[in-house]
Structure 1
Amino acid sequence: MDTIFALASAQGKAGVAVIRLSGPLAHPAAAALSGAALPSRGMRVRSLYGKDGSRLDDGVVLTFQAPASFTGEDVAELQIHGSTAAVNAVMRCLADMDGLRLADPGEFTRRALENGKMDLTQVEGLADLIDAETEAQRKQAQIILAGELGNLAERWRRDLIRAASLLEAVIDFADEEVPTDVTPEVRQLITDVIADLHREAEGVRIAERIRTGFEVAIVGLPNAGKSTLLNALAGREAAITSEYAGTTRDVIEVRMDLEGLPVTLLDTAGLRETDDHVESLGIERAKKRAEAADLRVFLTDDPKELGVQLLEGDIQVLPKSDLRNSSDEGISGKTGQGVDRLISNISRVLGNRTTTHGIATRERHRIALITARDALSAAIAVLESGPDLYDIAAEELRTAIRALEALVGRIGVEDLLDEIFSSFCLGK
């Protein structure tokens, strides 16, 4: 197998840069740079030299022996000064060594998967952790990275293998007297797993929103103060404001962190009847985005006049409270009145929804869970028909087991791997 290397820290000037190597030549390559032998596992402060004996930099060399490393292979890490020149000099020397090549995106993590150091859900958790922008995203990614979804899948798999083995025993000894009726135990094992699978599948939508972000649409009539409110929430001039109706023609998006939750605020075109073709396109797009959003903030005295349905959890506030005689419940992006209260209300509504999320976070997970659940429901139905159909029930159990194995990447996911690892940086 090739020995790969890459910069594992961020590009650009920094105090320290980390260059990672993995493969059979990782330790010899690091030793060649440092001019002396290295321990199979340990840390040494060394000067690094080029082929011509010129000094490249001083740094710390860490070595890890297979299989006790991130990738499961021999690994070396060079922690050097984080100047662009120093990093480039060391990387050039590594590239000139026989048997070494620059890693592909995500190749270190892919090797960890192939060597059994991680399952596929943990790989996805690592990708989510790298992309995490909010505290809720960090916590969720850490749960997946710690292997909790994989542990659940393994527990379900063990229970289903136990159930299948009981059925297979009855099938194998069909001509003999079986001393115990296995149906109650098999039924209980399957029923318990179905309940778990259903709960996790139902929680995927909210978990996925934590991972990708909630959408909150601000809707109202033209000149209701939507863009001014968006700017107040964002703390910057994200949207153009004016006294002219129809200024906002397209949906403007602002990404925010609201009490640890990732939220994208949508400033939409004012909803009204218009003969302006371009504005009408913006209004139609605004309605579609508002209807698809997780939460809508209605800036209006009467939501019915907007043509967008007010759903449970949506928030209605009276616009432009600065122009009203008395409006404790109103809001004004211009003066800031009610803005903090609106942020708290949005955070509360979305926070309440996150209490129903499960561990599974992706549509791929949901499909695998539902496939397993449906196969188990079919197995229960067949089980009630008696031992003559146990072979069909056992096959349904095997279908469910295969779905769980696909969930953690044991089988049937080769076509997904290139897509998954393409989102990783070179050093991961």
Structure 2
Amino acid sequence: MDTVKIHQQEVICALATPSGVGAIAVIRVSGSGSIEMVSRIFKGKNLTEVPSHTVHFGTIRANGEIVDEVLATVFKSPKSFTKEDSVEISCHGSNYIIGQILRSLIFEGARIAAPGEFTQRAFLNGQFDLVQAEAVADLIAADSHASHKTALNQLRGGFSKKLTALRAELIHFASMIELELDFGEEDVEFAQRDDLRKLIDALQQNIEPLISSFHYGNAIKEGIPVAIIGSPNVGKSTLLNALLNEEKAIVTSIAGTTRDVIEDTMVLEGLKFRFIDTAGIRQTSDVVESIGIERSKSAMEKADVIIFLFDSKETLTDNQELASQLPPEKPRFFVLNKADINPDLADELSAANPDFKIISAQTQAGLPALTSSLIDLVKGHTPADTVINNFRHYEHLVKTQNSLTDVLNGLSLGVTGDFLAQDIRLALHHLGEITGTIVTDDLLENIFRKFCIGK
């Protein structure tokens, strides 16, 4: 007997809106018998007799007393988020009211849902695959246009369709090789090796852009890291405060004030940036400042974009020496600060190198042009197609790619079908783990426990 289906017969309930006092709260109820259960505490129309996707006004009662006037929205299986019978109760946002309604449901036989259990049931009932289920959490957490767009594309199956097509092509050849193994003594080849090699090459060409997109996808999800680097007292903290429009970092005329990395995020034209203010890099005998400088260098190496800030020809030279330690392809901006008090240098540098950015963090002159350049840089590096932002997906794509490479190596060496079949099975396994075609209880628990309880 299928224990998962037995588990899904249970009626679960939870608050689906954020906890805390608000105007409206929504309580979700799902499972076999959930409509009948809510009907027992709801006074209004008989919810068991109303059509699906209808909303009804009534009252919730406990011990014969009215708890609240509510709206009950009925969703009948299979046309609901979980594909089970479901009801959403919209009540006033009082913690007391919410508690009373949940207690009444529990008294009638429901239990409080586990984190992500509504979405997990939707997945187990075939509403969508595992990639789409994970996209639900990303969509809820999206705090920029770019992260919202990526999550919505995955929720609507953009990534899944690619993986399904790749897997279907590979399954065909896998079945042909498996058939060969059944006729091993007759020395027949059902899977043409040249066709298999062409297929593997095509699959790898499709998978490589997905793997490469992870860096960008993860950056737009967490915030594109931009490190502000430079000598002490060139205005790094002032620039951070100006970009964020708040006094995030302490600003003084004393060199070495910033002794650790300070960071915060902001959204510019739908892109989330993580600006990182760092300790001024110089030679020092101060132990604490030295630690801060090492962290500055680490931030510089890990950042996707670097703003080298300077206020004189000397500090420009220092920055150019630092930049020489980085890979030449790492995006960077050389930005002259304090142009308001050093206009002659600003004019000289503008004439010498139009790529230099000229700003005054104090007066905010030139900041719009700097932020526009940052936005243009990131948009210029945006992958044109599907983007992945989930490390689990990235890991399995890399493993798939490795298994496909093993197949190609095996073909070059002329290995027997049983060894080819083993590597193809591994590739299929990793693709299946992404979409949930192959799934374990541990995997599901690890994914859905990160969801909020009402989702």
Normalising by the smaller structure, the TM-score range is over 0.9
Q: Post-superposition shift, 1:174? A: 4.9
Which moved further from structure 2: 99-108 or 408-417? 408-417
TM-score (norm 2): 0.87
RMSD: 2.2
Cα offset, 1:180, TM superposition: 7.3
Which residue is equivalent to 1:325? Answer: 343
Match of 2:354 in 1: none
Given candidates 319, 322, 326, the residue that maps to 1:308 is 322
Q: Distance in 1 between matches of 2:391 and 2:364?
A: 39
Instruction: Provide the rounded CA distance (Å) in 1 between the counterparts of 2:279 and 2:129.
Output: 45
Contact 1:249–1:283 (8 Å) recurs in 2: yes
* Percent of aligned positions that are identical: 36
Distance 1:178 1:89, change over 3 A: same
Paired residues of 2:61 and 2:68 also in contact (CA < 8 A): no
Q: How does 1:72-151 map to 2 (within 5 A)?
A: 72-97=83-108, 99-151=109-161
- How far apart in 2 are the matches of 1:204 and 1:259? 21
SS at match of 1:394: helix
Q: Please state how far the C-alpha of 1:230 moved relative to its aligned partner.
A: 1.0
Residue in 1 that maps onto 2:203: 193
Q: Could you say which residue in structure 1 is the equivalent of 2:373?
A: 345
Q: Report how far residue 76 of structure 1 moved.
A: 0.9
Correspondence list, 1:232-381, <5 A: 232-300=242-310, 301=313, 302-306=315-319, 308-309=322-323, 311-312=328-329, 313-326=331-344, 327=346, 329-355=357-383, 358-381=386-409
Deviation at 1:383, TM superposition (A): 2.9
Contact 1:214 1:264 survives alignment (8 Å): yes
Structure 2 CA distance for aligned equivalents of residues 280 and 113 of structure 1 = 51
Matching residue within 208, 233, 239 for 2:218: 208
- Worse-matched range after superposition: 338-347 or 352-361: 352-361
In the TM superposition, residue 211 of structure 1 has moved relative to its aligned partner by 1.5
Answer with 106-115 or 376-385: which moved more. Answer: 376-385
The answer on whether the counterparts of 1:8 and 1:18 sit within 8 Å (CA) in structure 2 is: yes
Shift, 1:131, TM fit: 0.8
Aligned-partner Cα distance in 2 for 1:406–1:343 = 40
Whether the 8 Å CA contact 1:206–1:357 is kept in 2: the answer is no
- The Cα shift of 1:184 comes to 3.3
Residues 243, 62 of structure 1: alpha-carbon distance in 2 compared, 3 angstrom cutoff: same
1:205-253: per-residue Cα shift (whole Å, max 9, x none)?
A: 1111112211101111111011111111111111111111111111111
1:60-104: CA deviation from partner (whole Å, max 9, x where unpaired): 21222223221122211112233444333322322322x211112
Question: Which residue pairs with 1:37 in the alignment?
Answer: 46
Q: Tell me the CA shift for residue 177 of structure 1.
A: 8.4
Q: TM-score, normalised by structure 1?
A: 0.92
Q: 2:31 aligns with which of 23, 27, 32?
A: 23
Question: Which amino acid in 1 is paired with 2:400?
Answer: A
Query: Structure 2, unaligned stretches of length 5 or more?
Result: 1-6, 348-356
Change (3 A) 1:276 1:58: same
Residue 179 of structure 1, CA deviation = 9.2
Alignment CA distance shift 1:243-1:256 (3 Å): same
Q: Which runs of 5+ in 1 are unaligned?
A: none
8 Å CA contact 1:249, 1:279 repeated in 2: yes
- The amino acid of 1:8's aligned partner reads A
Shift, 1:427, TM fit: 0.8
Shift of 1:12: 3.0
What's the CA shift for 1:175?
A: 5.4
SS where residue 337 of structure 1 aligns? coil
**1:54 pairs with 43, 51, 65, which one?**
65
Q: Helix, strand or coil: the match of 1:50?
A: strand
Post-superposition offset of 1:384: 4.4
Q: Does residue 418 of the first structure (1) align with residue 445 of the second (2)?
A: yes
**Which amino acid in 1 is paired with 2:304?**
D
Q: Contact 2:160–2:435 (CA<8 Å) still a contact in 1?
A: yes
| Displacement after TM superposition at 1:118 (Å) | 2.4
Deviation at 1:182, TM superposition (A): 2.4
Q: Which amino acid aligns with 1:34?
A: F
Spell out structure 1 runs of 4+ moving beyond 6 A: none
| Mapped partners of 2:413, 2:179: distance in 1 | 17
Number of residue pairs aligned between Structure 1 and Structure 2: 426
Within 1, Cα distance between the matches of 2:188 and 2:232? 77
The letter for the 1-side match of 2:196 is V
CA spacing shift, 1:51–1:83, aligned 2, 3 Å: closer
CA contact (8 A) 1:231 1:239 kept: yes
Q: What residue number does 2:351 align with?
A: none
Change (3 A) 1:21 1:181: closer
Q: State the shift of 1:260 in Å.
A: 1.1
State the alpha-carbon separation in 2 of the partners of residues 214 and 27 from structure 1. 46
Match of 1:5 in 2: 13
Could you tell me how far 1:415 is from its partner in structure 2? 2.9
**Does the CA-based 8 Å contact 1:43-1:60 persist in structure 2?**
no
Q: Which of the numbers 381, 406, 410 marks the counterpart of 1:382? A: 410
- Give the stretch that moved more between structures: 164-173 or 28-37: 164-173
CA shift, 1:357, in A, is: 6.8
Q: Deviations over 1:161-213 (max 9, x none)?
A: 11112223344345558697723333332222121112211221111111221
- The 2-side partners of 1:291 and 1:192 are apart by 34
Q: Is the 8 A contact 1:47 1:55 kept in 2?
A: no
- Residues 6 and 426 in structure 1, CA contact (< 8 A), matched pair in contact too: yes
Alpha-carbon distance in structure 2 between the residues aligned to 1:247 and 1:383: 62
